[in-house]
Amino acid sequence: MQKVPVVYSDTFLTDYQTVDCECPDRVTEIYYDIEKMADFIAPQPCEESELTLCHTERLIEIVKKSDAHSAASLAAGGAITAAEIASVRPSFALIRPPGHHAGRDFNGGFCFFNNMAIAVMKLLNDGRAERVLIIDIDLHYGNGTEDIVHGDKRISFWNIDAATRDEFFRDLERAVRTATDFDMVGCSAGFDTYVKDWGGLLTTEDFRRIGGMIASSNRRFFSILEGGYYIPDLGRNVKAYLEGIEAG
């Protein structure tokens, strides 16, 4: 069986200043659970010219002064790498810090740079895609992503917002029905909707189903890690998601 391309670096284990739940153990647990099925690929740091596709100089300078700068720049670069790989086959970026709460001139929610938006804008800027669909399955609304991509007719942003499991899958089904209209699909893959996490909605098998649903709708598909804070099961949830993608 061909291994899953997974973008990863030990830099994502950096213990920079953030909230306790957004800790290096998140990445470690995922790494060991997917190790046997993954082809790990090292990313390069994001160039400042790539950051300015989505962020103001003011925000970039603020992040430069933080102890998260190296990890945040590499996370954005990792998202770009995953998006480029997706031209050939589905990929996953095991990156940290997350990004979907970082807007053009603001950040928050444990995020510094918007990894997904940067990767998508880079795809479009380089002519690798003309239309991109972003699906955000994280528990929390991707307000930073919306801030950046709103009004750009090349990008459709679909945030899955549901109070129940059935609502989640109904909304996701509506999103994936549109996927054939796009050259590429990017998923902001948050796992905090898990039944034992903050969201309390989805099972491990549900994450397998999600991966399969998106991958079967468009094979030019990449995912990047966003949230997910119930560490004991985080690795197996990501593994199930990747298995769903491979089967999709």
The helix or strand, by DSSP H or E, that contains position 189, with its residue range, turns out to be strand 184-189
**Is pLDDT of 243 > 70?**
yes
Average pLDDT over residues 48-65: 98
pLDDT value of position 1: 65
**Residues 46 and 118 sit within 8 Å (Cβ to Cβ):** yes
Q: What is the CA radius of gyration of the chain?
A: 16
CA 15/CA 23 separation, integer angstroms? 7
Catalytic residue check, 150: no
Considering 55, 101, 140, 150, which one is annotated as catalytic?
Answer: 101
pLDDT, tens digit (0-9, with 9 covering 90-100), for 78-129: 999 999 999 999 999 999 999 999 999 999 989 999 999 999 999 999 999 9
CA 39/CA 180 separation, integer angstroms? 27
* Average of per-residue pLDDT values in the chain: 97
Average pLDDT over residues 243-248: 92
pLDDT value of position 2: 83
pLDDT > 90: percent of the chain: 98
Domain 4-247 - what CATH class? Answer: alpha beta
**Residues 210 and 244 sit within 8 Å (Cβ to Cβ):** yes
In the chain, where the domains are located: 4-247
pLDDT value of position 72: 98
Tokens linked to 128: 């690798």
25 pLDDT band, cuts 50/70/90, is: very high
* Positive/negative CA dihedral, 206, 207, 211, 217: positive
pLDDT, tens digit (0-9, with 9 covering 90-100), for 178-196: 999 999 999 999 999 999 9
- Measured in residues, the chain has a length of 248
